[in-house]
Amino acid sequence: MRRLPGAGLLSRTHGGAPPGLLDFSSPSNPLGPPADLISYVLGCAAEGVYSSYPTWLYRDLYESLSSFLGFDQEQLVPLNGAAEALSLAPLALHARSLVVVEPNFGDHEVMARALGIDLRRALLTREGSSFTLDVDDVIKEASQAPKPLVVIISRPNNPTGYLAPISVIDDLSSRLPRDSMLIVDEAFIDLSPGPALRPREDLVILRSLTKAFSTPGLRLGVLATANLSCNRCTSYSNGQMHSFNAFLQQKW
Ligand SMILES: Cc1ncc(COP(=O)(O)O)c(C=O)c1O
């Protein structure tokens, strides 16, 4: 049998927990995709938008994302799912290490291994059935990690649902060592009481339209920051003219 490179990853499965177990492998909006989105996708297919290369500036995509999120267009980097940022952002920032606040999305470990960067973990603190973040623990890991450094926290956390208050994010960001970038992964923020973060200079936000609209197969996410040089580097680190499929460049 032909062995594929990285065949170990192929044994990872999505969905289908045995009875009695909760399935956290492919979580998204339990309400399912909006009817308008389904008609939009069917309309694009009927028009045959897939038969030519998309226009690479993706103006309509930027406009739609900006109006949906309420963020300025220049603060956005569209992604093929929020997960794309896990490799693009560390590449753009020339990161040598990653500090992940755990428990968290399993792809962080896969990406750190693929990029050959150091992976360190800080654990949420459990208090009965709830969780909190001890900022001191993260700062301890961050100060020992090789720089440049990326620190990732999911907000709300997957899988515990813990929503770090904005004051905790402010505290964490203000105490990180030089040459660090904080990524706040808000992939599930639309399914939580919020409030969502707004783009700012000291951190990068990730949002997932996959999760919000329950469409993992469409692959659409966004990196948002007011740190425009970080934003620019991340857009370039992809290095492709046509990164998004033609369905995503229509007005929606
Ligand atoms: C915390 C977290 N962030 C990001 C993602 C990936 O989202 P996307 O499908 O938009 O790539 C996941 C997927 O489960 C996740 O759990």
Report the DSSP beta bridge partners of residue 118: 97
Higher pLDDT, 18 or 123: 123
Instruction: Report whether residue 82 contacts ligand 1, using a CB cutoff of 6 Å.
Output: yes
Q: Whose CA is nearest to atom 12 of ligand 1?
A: 105
Instruction: Report whether residue 221 contacts ligand 1, using a CB cutoff of 6 Å.
Output: yes
Q: Could you give phi then psi for residue 42, rounded to 5 degrees? A: -65, -40
- A 10 A CB-CB count for 227 gives 17
Q: Which of the four pLDDT bands, split at 50, 70 and 90, describes residue 3?
A: very low
pLDDT over 60 (residue 238): yes
Tell me, yes or no, whether 48 lies in a domain. no
Mutate to test the pocket of ligand 1, among 158, 190, 222 (most ligand atoms within 8 A of CB): 158
Ligand 1 center to 161 CA (angstroms): 14
Ligand 1 center to 81 CA (angstroms): 7
* Average of per-residue pLDDT values in the chain: 88
Q: Whose CA is nearest to atom 6 of ligand 1?
A: 83
Pairing of β 76-79 and β 97-102: unpaired
Q: Which of the four pLDDT bands, split at 50, 70 and 90, describes residue 118?
A: very high
pLDDT over 90 (residue 17): no
Q: What does the alpha-carbon distance between residue 252 and residue 250 come to, in Å, rounded to a whole number?
A: 6
Tell me, yes or no, whether 171 lies in a domain. yes
Q: Distances from the Cα of 125 to the Cαs of 47, 128, 138, in angstroms?
A: 52, 10, 11
Tell me, yes or no, whether 31 lies in a domain. no
Higher pLDDT, 79 or 240: 79
Q: Whose CA is nearest to atom 3 of ligand 1?
A: 187
Tell me, yes or no, whether 212 lies in a domain. yes
Instruction: Report whether residue 80 contacts ligand 1, using a CB cutoff of 6 Å.
Output: no
Q: Which of the four pLDDT bands, split at 50, 70 and 90, describes residue 252?
A: low
Spatial strand order of the sheet with 203-208 comes to 76-79, 221-224, 203-208, 180-185, 149-154, 97-102, 118-123
Domain containing 60 equals 54-249
Tell me, yes or no, whether 41 lies in a domain. no
pTM: 0.90
Say which amino acid occupies 27. P
Q: What does the alpha-carbon distance between residue 161 and residue 197 come to, in Å, rounded to a whole number?
A: 16
Total number of domains constituting the chain: 1
Q: Distances from the Cα of 29 to the Cαs of 33, 37, 192, 216, in angstroms?
A: 8, 14, 11, 10
- A 10 A CB-CB count for 115 gives 16
Contacts of 216 (CB under 8 A, 6+ apart): 14, 26, 28, 81, 210
Q: Whose CA is nearest to atom 7 of ligand 1?
A: 82
Give the nearest ligand 1 atom to 83 CA. 11
Tell me, yes or no, whether 210 lies in a domain. yes
Tell me, yes or no, whether 99 lies in a domain. yes
Which CATH number is 186's domain given? Answer: 3.40.640.10
Q: Which of the four pLDDT bands, split at 50, 70 and 90, describes residue 246?
A: confident
Tell me, yes or no, whether 36 lies in a domain. no
Range with the poorest average pLDDT among 41-55, 130-144, 192-206, 233-247: 233-247
